[in-house]
């Protein structure tokens, strides 16, 4: 049989490449694991607050009474454990499965930072190894009775986001952006990748949308006027939240106490996600 050229018009319908489907790449959960809804948090570029949004969505889910989990898929830049103040190394059970760490309020999580000898050690791995870790986090962890799992994905459209899209049965993605005009193009890259992979876009979150004056309450657009509503209309998806620049929230992340921030910025977002 000749080598596949990926041009399906040149070969028969019996070709293995033509017979494969997206389901063929999915990794199964381990025995005893159950995850009802899986949501990826994505962005076309770094530094827009994906990890913050992931953490806030998980906290909102937990407050609604759902059993919640976070899979930290940003292998080379993991920050989820620090936001929740989780530092203990992950362990395994007698069946060789990873047991997730647990936050103070009961959110399960896995992150490569919970597997390193020192939290500041760099992760210098190539793409195939990073993809393998993602598959292990999903398929070789004991996820018990999870209602909502939020996956903090690395920025861009490279190897690891592709692995997550192909290996994990996502119910949809949330795209995170910031107000700058340039981000409109960045959002389009993430949205177009999701559409190519046939993953639903559940909505957009704008981070660093404004800062609120502590004296008069006026909202100041530090990074310029927002374009998130226009972008959302373009893709016919809702705006799930517009997050302010909040020093209290930043301090809580630094202290590992994001669960104890009283402001529930993602309450409305969770109402939409519950309709999945």
Beta-bridge partners for 176 = 205
Q: Distance of CA 10 to CAs 5, 13, 16, 180, Å? A: 8, 10, 13, 45
Strands 211-212 and 219-220 come out as: antiparallel
Is the confidence at residue 23, as pLDDT, over 70? Answer: no
> Measured at the alpha carbon of residue 142, what is the angle toward residues 138 and 148, in degrees to the nearest 5?
65
Give the pLDDT mean for 93-101.
Answer: 95
Give the pLDDT mean for 76-81.
Answer: 90
Strand order in the sheet with 35-42: 101-102, 108-110, 68-72, 146-152, 35-42, 172-177, 201-206, 239-242
Question: Given pLDDT bands bounded at 50, 70 and 90, which one contains residue 87?
Answer: very high
Output the pLDDT for position 225. Answer: 81
**In sequence order, what are the residues at sequence separation of 6 or more whose Cβ sits closer than 8 angstroms to the Cβ of residue 58?**
68, 69, 70, 107, 148, 150
| Backbone φ and ψ of 203, nearest 5° | 160, 175
Question: Given pLDDT bands bounded at 50, 70 and 90, which one contains residue 12?
Answer: low
Out of 159-173, 176-190, 223-237, give the one with best mean pLDDT: 159-173
Tokens of 270: 């969770």
Output the pLDDT for position 1. Answer: 43
Output the pLDDT for position 18. Answer: 46
Whole-structure pTM value? 0.88
Is the confidence at residue 175, as pLDDT, over 50? Answer: yes
Percentage of residues in the chain having pLDDT higher than 70 = 90
Give the pLDDT mean for 227-238.
Answer: 88
Is the confidence at residue 237, as pLDDT, over 80? Answer: yes
Q: Lowest-confidence range among 1-10, 58-67, 208-217?
A: 1-10
Give the pLDDT mean for 70-92.
Answer: 93
Out of 11-15, 168-172, 210-214, give the one with best mean pLDDT: 168-172
Is the confidence at residue 17, as pLDDT, over 50? Answer: no
Output the pLDDT for position 170. Answer: 95
- Classify 211 as helix, strand or coil: strand
Name the more confident of 192 and 9. 192
């Amino acid at each position: 049989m000749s080598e596949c050229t990926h041009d399906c018009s040149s070969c028969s319908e019996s070709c293995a490449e033509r017979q494969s489907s997206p389901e063929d790449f999915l990794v199964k959960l381990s025995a005893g694991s159950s995850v009802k809804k899986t949501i990826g948090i994505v962005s076309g570029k770094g530094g827009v607050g994906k990890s913050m949004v992931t953490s806030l969505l998980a906290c909102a889910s937990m407050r609604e009474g759902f059993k919640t989990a976070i899979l930290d898929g940003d292998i080379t830049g993991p920050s989820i454990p620090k936001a929740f103040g989780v530092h203990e190394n992950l362990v395994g059970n007698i069946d060789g499965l990873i047991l997730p760490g647990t936050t103070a309020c009961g959110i399960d999580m896995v992150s490569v930072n919970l597997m390193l000898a020192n939290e500041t050690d760099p992760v210098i791995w190539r793409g195939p190894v990073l993809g393998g870790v993602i598959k292990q986090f999903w398929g070789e962890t004991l996820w018990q009775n999870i209602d909502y799992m939020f996956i903090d994905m690395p920025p861009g459209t490279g190897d690891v986001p592709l692995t997550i899209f192909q290996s994990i049965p996502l119910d949809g993605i949330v795209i995170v952006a910031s107000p700058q005009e340039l981000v409109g193009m960045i959002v389009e890259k993430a949205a177009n990748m999701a559409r190519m992979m046939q993953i639903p876009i559940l909505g957009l979150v704008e981070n660093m949308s404004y800062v609120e004056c502590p004296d008069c309450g006026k909202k100041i657009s530090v990074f310029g006027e927002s374009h998130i509503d226009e972008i959302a209309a373009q893709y016919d998806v809702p705006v799930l939240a517009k997050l302010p620049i909040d020093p209290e929230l930043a301090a809580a992340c630094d202290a590992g106490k994001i669960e104890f921030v009283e402001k529930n910025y993602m309450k409305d977002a969770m109402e939409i996600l519950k309709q999945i």
